[in-house]
């Protein structure tokens, strides 16, 4: 029980450190700094750039040389220092580099949080498929708490959101030092350049099923990036329209966005059951269809008579995110060799918040500036419809290309999904 409490606390601190600024940095960039979508997407792309190489590199270090919980602590301490520096920066170019350094430290902590949780729970004889999702709920609560703290205190366009993040990372660093030791399991393996760079996990691409899965993880990572980058900015822009100027959701847009995190709490709890009943293929298809509907609801929503559509899109986000992200992490955990599981979780993050985020950031910034911005006004309906079309194409391709080749194992609680 004490271990579960600490894992839950780790999840909470891990994601409040991100949620305190991830959704509202768009408002900070557009409204406080006055940047264009292209400038903003460049800063936001630090998430994808850092995730492109840091998670597998740090995963390889945890697999071979340093206890995962100690490495996790050091990384969060570095995050805290970086975030303390952010409010002192006025140059967009300098902010890009500081945020890039920060995210190079932060992004590996996501995959390490998964691997530390799975490792310590398995060592304690727990069933991670059944017992981990309820603990992961605390991560969602943490993310929502960060958003609520930032929004209700009126800090959505303020640099104070970064101080909240710094404090949370410091607490995560201290907590990690109290966790059970996660010693390296691959320390005796032959040392190669590939292993040093965390490339051992690339062997997952040799299997058609896991290879295709990872490619579609990247494509869905684009959706996640679009949602993170533009949800709050989309709501803020309704303030330009006089009839919506006094809407309550324009005063606390991050609170509205956080309804997605409330939804996550529910969908996380059903993941063990849906994976057992339907398997990873159907769960992923449900996630993809949910992304399509999320964008469609946002396209036709507004703060007045279309408020229920915006709220509906936030609720659907919980299904779209959880059925993809947490299920995908559990899938990779079962598919990967134990000796490279930290690296494998790192590779999963590379595909989702690395390549997926870079593609989403760069492509969306160019698309919005060139096709959906007219005289400084963004056509959010057109933007959301284009996002929906993208998600629909990805869904169709996944249905065609990803097959349930391992139906002989009827549940993920055995060896696969």
Closest C-alpha among 43, 51, 41 to residue 355 = 51
Confirm if 37 and 372 have CB atoms less than 8 A apart: no
How many other β-carbons are positioned within 10 Å of the β-carbon of residue 277? 12
Mean of per-residue pLDDT scores for the chain:
81
Question: Residue 410 pLDDT > 70, yes or no?
Answer: no
H/E run at residue 382: helix 380-401
pLDDT at 384: 92
Closest C-alpha among 247, 270, 246, 249 to residue 258 = 249
Closest C-alpha among 207, 232, 244 to residue 331 = 207
Residues 6+ away with beta carbon under 8 Å from 156? 24, 27, 28, 150, 232, 253, 254
Task: Calculate the CA 381 to chain-centre distance.
Answer: 24
Phi, psi at 24, each rounded to 5°: -95, -5
Alpha-carbon gap, residue 264 to 252, rounded angstroms: 20
The structural domains of the chain, ordered by start, are 2-183+195-401 (1.20.1250.20)
Residues 6+ away with beta carbon under 8 Å from 368? 37, 378, 383
Strands 373-374 and 377-378: antiparallel
pLDDT in tens, 212-235: 889 998 998 888 878 877 777 787
- What is the radius of gyration, based on Cα positions, of the chain? 20
Residue 30's alpha-carbon distances to 14, 224, 355, in angstroms, are 26, 20, 24
Q: Which of 168-177, 237-246, 268-277, 327-336 has the highest mean pLDDT?
A: 168-177
pLDDT at 197: 53
- Mean pLDDT across 271-299: 89
Confirm if 70 and 176 have CB atoms less than 8 A apart: yes
Alpha-carbon gap, residue 417 to 412, rounded angstroms: 4
pLDDT in tens, 178-194: 998 888 776 555 655 55
- Mean pLDDT across 123-136: 85
pLDDT at 411: 41
pLDDT at 393: 95
Question: Residue 58 pLDDT > 70, yes or no?
Answer: yes
């Amino acid at each position: 029980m004490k271990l579960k409490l600490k894992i839950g606390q780790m999840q909470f601190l891990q994601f409040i450190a991100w949620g305190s600024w991830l959704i509202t940095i768009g408002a900070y960039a557009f409204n406080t700094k006055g940047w264009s979508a292209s400038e903003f997407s460049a800063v936001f792309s630090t998430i994808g750039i850092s995730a492109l190489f840091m998670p597998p590199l740090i995963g390889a270090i945890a697999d071979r040389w340093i206890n995962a919980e100690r490495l996790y602590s050091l990384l969060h301490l570095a995050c805290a220092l970086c975030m303390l520096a952010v409010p002192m920066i006025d140059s967009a170019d300098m902010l890009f580099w500081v945020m890039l350094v920060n995210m190079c430290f932060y992004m590996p902590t996501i995959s390490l949080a998964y691997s530390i949780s799975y490792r310590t729970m398995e060592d304690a004889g727990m069933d991670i498929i059944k017992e981990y999702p309820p603990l992961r709920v605390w991560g969602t609560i943490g993310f929502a708490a960060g958003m609520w703290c930032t929004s209700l205190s009126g800090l959505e366009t303020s640099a104070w959101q970064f101080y909240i993040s710094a404090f949370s990372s410091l607490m995560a660093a201290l907590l990690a030092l109290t966790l059970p030791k996660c010693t390296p399991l691959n320390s005796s393996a032959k040392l190669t350049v590939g292993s040093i760079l965390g490339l051992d996990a690339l062997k997952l691409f040799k299997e058609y099923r896991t290879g295709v899965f990872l490619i579609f993880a990247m494509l869905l990572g684009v959706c996640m990036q679009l949602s993170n980058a533009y949800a709050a900015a989309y709501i803020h822009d309704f303030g330009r329209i006089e009839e919506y100027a006094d809407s309550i959701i324009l005063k606390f847009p991050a609170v509205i966005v956080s309804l997605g995190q409330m939804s996550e709490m529910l969908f996380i709890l059903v993941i063990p059951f849906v994976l057992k009943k339907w398997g990873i293929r159907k769960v992923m298809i449900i996630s993809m269809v949910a992304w399509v509907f999320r964008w469609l609801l946002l396209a036709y929503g507004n703060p007045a008579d279309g408020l229920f559509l915006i709220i509906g899109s936030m609720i659907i986000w919980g299904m779209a995110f959880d059925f993809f992200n947490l299920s995908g992490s559990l899938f990779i955990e079962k598919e990967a060799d134990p000796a490279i599981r930290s690296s494998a979780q790192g590779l999963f993050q590379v595909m989702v918040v690395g390549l997926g985020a870079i593609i989403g950031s760069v492509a969306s910034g160019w698309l919005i500036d060139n096709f959906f911005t007219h005289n400084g006004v963004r056509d959010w309906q057109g933007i959301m419809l284009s996002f929906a079309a993208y998600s629909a194409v990805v869904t169709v391709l996944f249905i065609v290309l990803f097959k349930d080749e391992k139906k002989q194992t009827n549940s993920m609680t055995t060896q696969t999904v």
